[in-house]
Amino acid sequence: MTAITLENLVAELQGPSPLVLLDVRRDKARNGSGLDIPGTTWRNPAHWLDWKDEFAHVPRVVLYCAHGQEISQGLTTVLRVLGVNASYLTGGFAAWQDAGRPVQPVPSPLA
């Protein structure tokens, strides 16, 4: 399992290499907070079998859940077994928000 710190993620996001930031918070946690990290792709962690192949050819994926624990760590492990260059954000969305990093409202489901 590969973790990435908030500081390293911020540096990578500012770098030239492509990166997919993947929000795997449960729907209830995501909608409950009402906030996202700008540029994030959200996928329902309960349906990982439906979307796992979307990231097979992505150069780099960083997953985050609410606190950077079982959901993002487990899905990072699954994606890595499938050959995806995946890491999880230590501390998850809570660490991002606590550090005062930019957030935006969760898009409306009708958008």
The model's pTM is 0.93
Neighbour tally for 104: CB within 10 Å = 12
- Considering the chain, what is the average pLDDT of its residues? 94
Q: What type of residue is 61?
A: V
Q: Is the pLDDT of residue 109 over 70?
A: no
pLDDT in tens, 39-92: 999 999 999 999 999 999 999 999 999 999 999 999 999 999 999 999 999 999
- pLDDT-based confidence at 108, cuts 50/70/90? confident
Tell me, yes or no, whether 107 lies in a domain: no
Considering the domain boundaries, does residue 46 fall inside one? yes
Is residue 17 included in any domain, yes or no? Answer: yes
CATH number of the domain that residue 92 is part of: 3.40.250.10
Instruction: Please give the single-letter amino acid code of residue 3.
Output: A
User: Rounded to an integer, what distance in angstroms lies between the CA atom of residue 77 and that of residue 102?
Assistant: 27
**How many structural domains comprise the chain?**
1
Q: Which domain range does residue 85 map to?
A: 3-102
For residue range 55-69, list pLDDT tens digits in order.
999 999 999 999 999
